[in-house]
Structure 1
Amino acid sequence: MKRLQLPHWLTDTIYTITGILFSGFALKSFLVPNNFFDGGVTGISLLVHELYHINIAYVIIIANIPFIVMGAFQINKTFAFKTVAAVIGLGLCLLYMPYPAMTSDKLLVSIFGGVFMGIGVGLAIRGGCALDGIEVLALYTGKRISFTISEIILGINIIIFLIAAIKLGLPTALYSILTYYTASRTINFVIEGLEEYTGVTIISGENAAIKEQLVLTMGKGITVYKGERGFLKDSFDVSQPVDIIFTVVTRLEVRRLRNLVHDIDPKAFVFTSTIKEAAGGVLKKRARH
């Protein structure tokens, strides 16, 4: 039987609405009642809210407008339109959804506030929009200066947390850094999921048996590079041809693959690398949104 395939616009809408609800829950139930912060535009909005007591819903919408305009030029107008709708939706959610304050325990607030915020932002990204425009700013700035996007985001967040430490105290700033870290890790998990792929490279004299097991036992596609092995310190001039095997597995399969290779050749050289996106070939992974 064929699986029911929802239209892309419907799945994007479901992701975005769910992301808005989670983000609103994180803000109204954890961060705002306890004067906590996050990074990025959300962090700036929370800081303005704390310092000037302006409703957080209005601040988030106004703070994101410049970045939405940047997004229209840097990415595309569809992205900008979706982001406008998502940010306004988040503002309405903050105004009208009756979220209760969950806890005043600082550690719980920093961890679970970050988790729910990360889930919300991650789901919105999977829906094709952004609830926080900081990455758009980093993309825009990165084309004009010699810093990477990660370095720009880090620099902006350092400034946010320094201001928070000066104005509201060091403990609040430190707990807020924990919130930001938790949120960023959760965002990565939501976007990549359990199926985040890992590239595995194997160099072994028993490559024929390893290739057979990878394809027939694990059902994996493989790519073979022709190389040479040897070149040791005591015998630099001695080498022999070798097939270098490359395959892609989910991170849950890495241990099984390592054990399989070790059983065939305990001396095999195996190294892994994280792959952010993978599609096509024999991979069964569904497309990201």
Structure 2
Amino acid sequence: MSPHDHRPPHPPEQGFSPIQRPTSTVFAPRRVGAIVLRHLYVLKSSVPRLLELAYWPTVQMVLWGFITTFFVQHSSWLAQAFGVLLAAVLLWDVMFRGNLGLSISFMEEMWSRNLGHLFVSPLRPYELVAAIMTMSFIRTTIGLLPAALLAIWFYEYNIFAMGLPLVTFFANLLVTGWAIGLAVSALILRHGLGAESLAWVAIFAFGPVSGIYYPIESLPGWLQPVAWALPPAYVFEGMRAVLFDGTFRWDLFGGAVALNVLYLGLAVVLFLRTFTKARRLGLLLDVGE
């Protein structure tokens, strides 16, 4: 090519072009507003997200309000409270981890969009339920064992000293966690991953009425029947009977078992019915928000 052969520059291509860096460096409130508006529309379209905004402050206020009220009215109880509070924290985490372990195991199948692939195989829905319950037990055990051992080292408190009653408390709270986790999983399957925050927040609604850190009798009179309709109330009252009086309350154990059988049965039925409907509607392949 001759050095005097000057050709016009190649005209820009028409159509789609790669995303270019914006030339303007001026702060644009309209762009900020557009992103905010996008998230407001997402928030507006998701009732669980809206409820979650007010949920945490309310639950924390109610729970710690009851704890404070009880300690103010029973100051002598503080002298014996150290071991009881540590046991309560560890046992509450059994229920929390049981619920979360089951819900997370189920949601991992949704996050990976694997539900449709699973049920092309001979897998049955009740087999999936059994599998995620097993995973919940494994996750809970792995999560809590180090904490229980560290409590011995840090605070010289051995929760295993409770012996066989500890096994019954662990089993009942784990089953309660399964019932809540299955109900939450059914809601997520029906309403999509926009409801996945329920896996973390639903369990805490039971905290104020479970008597974790205070006796059920310290609750307002109108709230006590609600507490006695839930298995954790029987477990934590039974735990205090073992630690304070050295007695295992068979009546409390029986109440927890009966309620757990009822609630777990209802949760399994709810999950299986929701699963059947989701498969009929094609929701197993459509797991978005």
TM-score by length of 1: 0.25
> Is the radius of gyration larger for structure 1 or structure 2?
2
- Structure showing the higher strand proportion among its residues: 1
TM-score by length of 2: 0.25
- Structure showing the higher helix proportion among its residues: 2
